[in-house]
Amino acid sequence: MSETAASGPDRQPIWSRPERGSRGPAPAHSRDAIVVAAINLADTEGLAAVSMRAVAAALGTGAGSLYRYLSSRDDLLDLMTDRAVGELRPYPQVEGDWLETMVLLGRRQLALFGAHPWLLDVIHRPSGIGPQSLAWFDNCIRILEPVRCPVAAKFETIAMMTGVVSLFARRESAAGAFSFAGVDLAAYPHLVAAFSQPSGPAPRADLVERTLRSLLTGLLLGEPTDAG
């Protein structure tokens, strides 16, 4: 079976299928063990290194045996993503303060992307949403219950928060990769003017927190309240 078999928008989510096929010998591994091996491989060698063959080798078995548990690499990526999202537990909580709690959740997301950089490449894949991801959304909606705005705005804000955090994570992973050093800026007058000005005071250190606070209050408190 191809590693991309059963992929696409009509693919049945892996969580709605049995743990393993009903045929063949007794299982030598569990779906969970396969996912742990794949995550370890992605953490150490990058997402490109994760193939059914490579994961099977890490488990000391043949690639064909994994297809008793998974239909494709897409299934594996879905399971890896959801298991990693489960590491966001236990969810932080600042009693009575939804904004502080959401900022803490955003920080927890940033730390997760730092621990598993490959998540940045799979978190937005169009695939079925797993139980850990559903629990994450459920928790966010619970925290935002006191905020009087349309529920659609809350879902949009949660998605935007994840997107912004992922941008910060990419920025951190690419730190030092971008520089104007040694570049002739003569043809770019606005850049020349900008660099000729005094740099001024250093920006406040916690850009992540400032951005999250602005995002959350701007998207949620700026929305009209529900009718009634």
Of 85, 102, 119, the residue that ends a domain is 85
Q: How far is CA 122 from the centre of its chain?
A: 7
Give 151's DSSP letter.
H
Claim to verify: residue 42 and residue 123 sit in the same structural domain: no
Claim to verify: residue 46 and residue 148 sit in the same structural domain: no
Q: Domain range spanning residue 123?
A: 89-174+204-220
Of 85, 114, 138, the residue that ends a domain is 85
Nearest to 8 by CA among 72, 70, 62, 57: 72
Claim to verify: residue 102 and residue 58 sit in the same structural domain: no
Query: Is 55 a member of any domain?
Result: yes
The CATH number of residue 108's host domain is 1.10.357.10
Give whole-number Cα distances, 202 to 14, 162, 166, 207, in Å. 48, 27, 24, 12
Query: Is 72 a member of any domain?
Result: yes
Claim to verify: residue 149 and residue 64 sit in the same structural domain: no
Give whole-number Cα distances, 147 to 176, 216, 221, in Å. 39, 11, 8
Claim to verify: residue 81 and residue 93 sit in the same structural domain: no
pLDDT at position 184 is 87
Q: How many distinct structural domains can be found in the chain? A: 2
Run of H or E including 155:
helix 151-173
Of 43, 58, 85, the residue that ends a domain is 85
Claim to verify: residue 81 and residue 106 sit in the same structural domain: no
Q: Which residue has the higher pLDDT, 108 or 4?
A: 108
Claim to verify: residue 114 and residue 208 sit in the same structural domain: yes
pLDDT tens digits for range 48-66: 999 999 999 999 998 888 8
Claim to verify: residue 131 and residue 155 sit in the same structural domain: yes
Q: Assess contact for 76 and 55: CB atoms under 8 A.
A: yes
pLDDT tens digits for range 150-203: 999 999 999 999 999 999 999 876 665 566 777 888 888 998 888 888 776 655
Claim to verify: residue 76 and residue 93 sit in the same structural domain: no
Q: What share of the chain is helix, strand, coil (3-state, %, to 5)?
A: 55, 0, 45
Claim to verify: residue 68 and residue 28 sit in the same structural domain: yes
Query: Is 197 a member of any domain?
Result: no
- Tell me the C-alpha distance between 158 and 173, whole Å: 23
pLDDT at position 194 is 85
pLDDT at position 165 is 96
Claim to verify: residue 97 and residue 157 sit in the same structural domain: yes
Claim to verify: residue 81 and residue 100 sit in the same structural domain: no
pLDDT at position 227 is 38
